[in-house]
Amino acid sequence: MKLGIVGLPNVGKSTLFNSLTKAGAQAANYPFCTIDPNVGIVPVPDERLKKLGDLHHSKKVTPAVIEFVDIAGLVKGASKGEGLGNQFLANIRECDAIVHVVRCFEDENVIHVDGSVDPVRDIETINLELIFADLEVLERRISKTGKSAMNDKSLKKELEVLKELKAILEEGKPASVYTNDDQDIMAFVRSLCLLTAKPVIFAANVAEDDLADDGASNPHVQAVRKFAEESGSKVFVVSAQIEQEIAELDDDEKADYLEALGVSESGLDKLIAASYDLLGLLSFLTTGEDETRAWTIKKGTKAPQAAGKIHTDFERGFIRAEVINYDDLMACGSSTAAKEKGLMRLEGKEYVVQDGDVILFRFNV
């Protein structure tokens, strides 16, 4: 999973990126200090992995990972060359979703590029710049496809779709509102990698005092939640400053610190949960003496395609899957005991993999 982080300058974007990835991206109280896209790979916390690894004395435990891409703060006019952010928008076109960091805290010591804190205005500023960036892509594509379509009738449908998308954007709407029953057309739309077609998670960046009640008493957070609900997006409340502090702690210290703040989970935990939910993802597990590992797949994925996530040969030569639920396996204490109790199932090609399935694939090529 790859997530692109966007936001205005000085909203806590790079501070959050640093704390999530511990990558040490520069964070300073002035616009455009992030002038190169920063990339960080973060393991997905999953307590099931360690327990499975211990059970099977695995030599290696490998979590699923998320890749974060942080770009320079966007400002009004970015699509026309203002600021530096637009230069780096191409770096997030390949992302699965966009994490939009929104400032929901008041602090006279931290400059706001527009002079005041108004998260909905800030969201609309960024959205407009993303629309302009997508329009630029579509205009180039329409020009190119239009010339080719004169001699190739098969491209006429593509040209129609491109023009329909352009019309949507010109109305100030995101490309995500476009729908079509033809799956080939939707695949073509996805291939365009339009920024406004991507699902969005809003990170409402608050002061420490607003963390305990999850921003319920913060009017800025409420405004973001209302906007997100209307646009079908997700929201999680985070304090980038607190995340930066806990990033330096070990797991036990982190848990104690969060408890002292009256918070049950870190910003990274909230973001991962929101991402998996928004993108319809789940994790299945494989385990053995060599390695215990988590694999991320889309909900609804069938066993052969899940096997293909590990290796294409597994999918090509799929015979069956030996499946047991993680909780059942841990309750039994071993695979042998689980088999004796009839909890280990043999599943075929039509089996839809569930979150927490521990699977051994049988294949022949």
Place of tokens 């527009």: 114
Strands 318-325 and 281-286: unpaired
97, amino acid identity: A
Report pLDDT digits (tens) over 116-129: 889 999 999 999 98
pLDDT for 269 equals 86
Rounded to 10 degrees, what is the CA torsion of 281, 73, 240, 211?
A: -80
Separation CA 232–CA 200 (nearest Å): 8
How many residues does this entry show for the chain?
365
Alpha helices in 232-266 (DSSP H): 240-246, 251-261
Identify the residue with better confidence: 34 or 277.
Answer: 277
Residue 155, SS3 per DSSP: helix
Look at residue 323 and give its three-state secondary structure.
strand
**How deeply is 32 buried, as exposed, middle or buried, from its count of CB atoms within 10 A (0-12, 13-18, 19+)?**
middle
Neighbours of 318 (CB within 10 A): 22
Torsion of CA 145, 147, 148, 153, to 10 degrees: 90
Residue 206 DSSP class: -
Chain segment 39-65, per-residue pLDDT in tens: 888 888 889 999 999 999 999 999 998
- Name the strand (E) or helix (H) holding 145: helix 119-149
Cα 363 to Cα 365: distance, rounded to the nearest angstrom? 7
Q: Find out whether 124 and 226 touch, Cβ atoms under 8 Å.
A: no
The phi, psi pair for 252, rounded to 5°, reads -65, -45
pTM of the model: 0.83
What is the pLDDT at residue 28?
A: 46
Backbone dihedral angles phi then psi of residue 285, each to the nearest 5 degrees: -125, 145
pLDDT of 131 higher than 70: yes
H or E stretch covering 230: helix 219-231
pLDDT tens figures, 132-154: 889 989 999 999 988 887 877 77
- CA torsion, points 329, 335, 337, 338, in degrees to nearest 10? 50
pLDDT of residue 30: 44
- Judge whether residue 38 has pLDDT over 60: yes
pLDDT at 362: 95
Report the amino acid identity of residue 86: N
Mark out the alpha helices in the chain (DSSP H runs): 13-21, 47-56, 119-149, 156-170, 183-191, 219-231, 240-246, 251-261, 267-279, 303-310, 312-316, 326-332, 335-340
Q: Compute CA distances 281 → 34, 75, 209, 294, 300, whole Å.
A: 30, 32, 32, 12, 9
Mean pLDDT of 80-85: 49
End-to-end CA distance of the chain: 29
The per-residue pLDDT for 321 is 96
pLDDT greater than 90 at residue 244: no
Task: Indicate if the pLDDT at residue 287 is higher than 60.
Answer: yes
